[in-house]
């Protein structure tokens, strides 16, 4: 049988298939099931900087509605509330570490390098094997340039890497004006891995009700192509590992991302759709493909079709349909 062992962020994984951060990795029971189904590692659900901040603000409002609140009390409330949120999260890390042997990667969703960053060392002390920084700065602030926005990513990474020794990865979006160079610059920081790309809540429109609604929460199969292209382009061009995520629904999708140059893959939607035990099917499919193709280890084929190694590098940059598709005929 093929050897699927993989090193990611300096951690030894028995295979490159990781359960991505989601509610499924927010409880120990499912984490145990994921390990039993063969997951190489788990990324815990994120602790949200914004959420903590929002709840703290709400609590402050409630408090200010009452008479005789001293400013010091408000300061205390800030700390007490934040501790409550974080204590639950630290407990999750500890319990997950006690329950499973696979690497447990903690995750923080962050939008600034302020206040919360002390948490990183608490997360390290709780036993997390690594920390994934789930960062998303939507470039909608018209007073901020792309340089300003990118600086936030670097500030967060610099701040966190000065607080912990565990490896750090950055899970990012594709909202950069110079995506390739920006990803490379991020890889030159102290991150050990880039996770390409996060999937976010996306608004939609209900045309009957004529109102804004929630978009699809789970990814669809065609969502793989964005990350596949960029994994292939960035492989061998970054100074760190690459974890591919979004739209990876089958073992065959995993093979594609590894051929493109991913170190590991992270899956969520397919586990929501098919149950956490589906993890074992994904891994079996990857293993069967390797056996079938005669690859003994993942390193034997990883990055074989990365842009820099490919015999057809232009294929990864083709953007226009042009004449290649002129033979396409219309369906009736
Ligand atoms: C219900 C749900 C909750 C998620 N929660 C988080 C989260 O807390 N932190 C995070 O970094 N990503 C979160 N994600 C994103 C996933 O980790 C993953 O990167 C994304 O869904 C793309 O992978 P997929 O196509 O396999 O779903 C969530 C995804 C889903 C579907």
What structural domains and CATH numbers belong to the chain?
Answer: 6-325 (3.20.20.70)
Helices and strands, counts by H and E, the chain: 10, 13
Determine the distance separating the centroid of ligand 1 and the alpha carbon of 102, expressed in angstroms.
20
171 Cβ below 6 A of ligand 1: yes
229 Cβ below 6 A of ligand 1: no
25 Cβ below 6 A of ligand 1: no
Q: Specify the DSSP element, H or E, that contains 329.
A: none
* Residue 119: count of CB within 10 angstroms of its CB: 25
192 Cβ below 6 A of ligand 1: no
Which atom of ligand 1 approaches the CA of 223 most closely? 25
Determine the distance separating the centroid of ligand 1 and the alpha carbon of 304, expressed in angstroms.
28
Percent of the chain with pLDDT over 90: 72
Determine the distance separating the centroid of ligand 1 and the alpha carbon of 132, expressed in angstroms.
13
Separation CA 192–CA 160 (nearest Å): 13
pTM: 0.90
Residue-level pLDDT, tens digit, the chain, 332 residues: 889 999 999 999 999 999 999 999 999 999 999 999 999 999 999 998 766 666 556 666 665 555 444 444 444 455 555 558 889 999 999 999 999 999 999 999 988 877 788 889 999 999 999 999 999 888 888 999 999 999 999 999 999 999 999 999 999 999 999 999 999 999 999 999 999 999 877 889 999 999 999 888 899 999 999 999 999 999 999 989 999 999 999 999 999 999 999 999 999 999 999 999 999 999 999 999 999 999 999 999 999 999 988 888 888 988 776 556 566 666 66
Token representation of residue 190: 């102290």
Give Cβ neighbours of residue 232 (< 8 Å, ≥ 6 apart): 260, 261, 305, 306, 307, 310, 316
Determine the distance separating the centroid of ligand 1 and the alpha carbon of 329, expressed in angstroms.
37
Strands (E), the chain: 6-8, 11-13, 17-19, 41-43, 47-48, 104-110, 130-135, 168-172, 193-196, 203-206, 211-214, 241-245, 264-267
């Amino acid at each position: 049988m093929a050897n699927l062992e993989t090193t990611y962020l300096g951690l030894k994984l028995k295979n490159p298939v990781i359960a991505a951060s989601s509610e499924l990795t927010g409880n120990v029971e499912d984490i145990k099931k994921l390990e039993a189904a063969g997951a190489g590692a788990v990324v815990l659900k994120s602790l949200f900087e914004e959420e903590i901040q929002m709840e703290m603000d709400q609590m402050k409002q409630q408090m200010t509605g009452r008479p005789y609140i001293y400013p010091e009390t408000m300061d205390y409330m800030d700390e007490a509330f934040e501790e409550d949120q974080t204590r639950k999260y630290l407990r999750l890390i500890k319990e997950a570490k006690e329950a499973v042997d696979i690497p447990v990667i903690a995750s923080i969703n962050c939008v600034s390098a302020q206040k919360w960053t002390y948490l990183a060392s608490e997360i390290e002390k709780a036993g997390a094997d690594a920390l994934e920084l789930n960062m998303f700065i939507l470039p909608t602030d018209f007073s901020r340039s792309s340089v300003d926005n990118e600086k936030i990513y670097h500030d967060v990474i610099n701040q966190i890497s000065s607080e912990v020794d565990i490896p750090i990865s950055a899970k990012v979006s594709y909202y950069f004006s110079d995506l390739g160079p920006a990803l490379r610059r991020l890889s030159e920081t102290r991150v050990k891995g880039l996770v390409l790309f996060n999937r976010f809540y996306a608004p939609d429109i209900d045309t009957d009700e004529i109102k804004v609604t929630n978009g699809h929460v789970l990814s669809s199969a065609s969502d793989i192509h964005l990350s596949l292209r960029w994994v292939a382009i960035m492989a061998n061009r970054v100074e760190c590992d690459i974890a591919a995520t979004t739209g990876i629904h089958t073992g065959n999708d995993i093979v594609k991302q590894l051929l493109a140059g991913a170190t590991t893959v992270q899956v969520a939607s397919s586990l929501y759709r098919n149950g956490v035990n589906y993890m074992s099917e994904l891994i079996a499919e990857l293993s069967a493909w390797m056996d079938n193709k005669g690859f003994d280890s993942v390193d034997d084929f990883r990055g074989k079709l990365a842009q820099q190694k490919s015999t057809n590098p232009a294929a990864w940059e083709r953007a226009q349909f042009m004449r290649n598709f002129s033979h396409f005929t219309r369906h009736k």
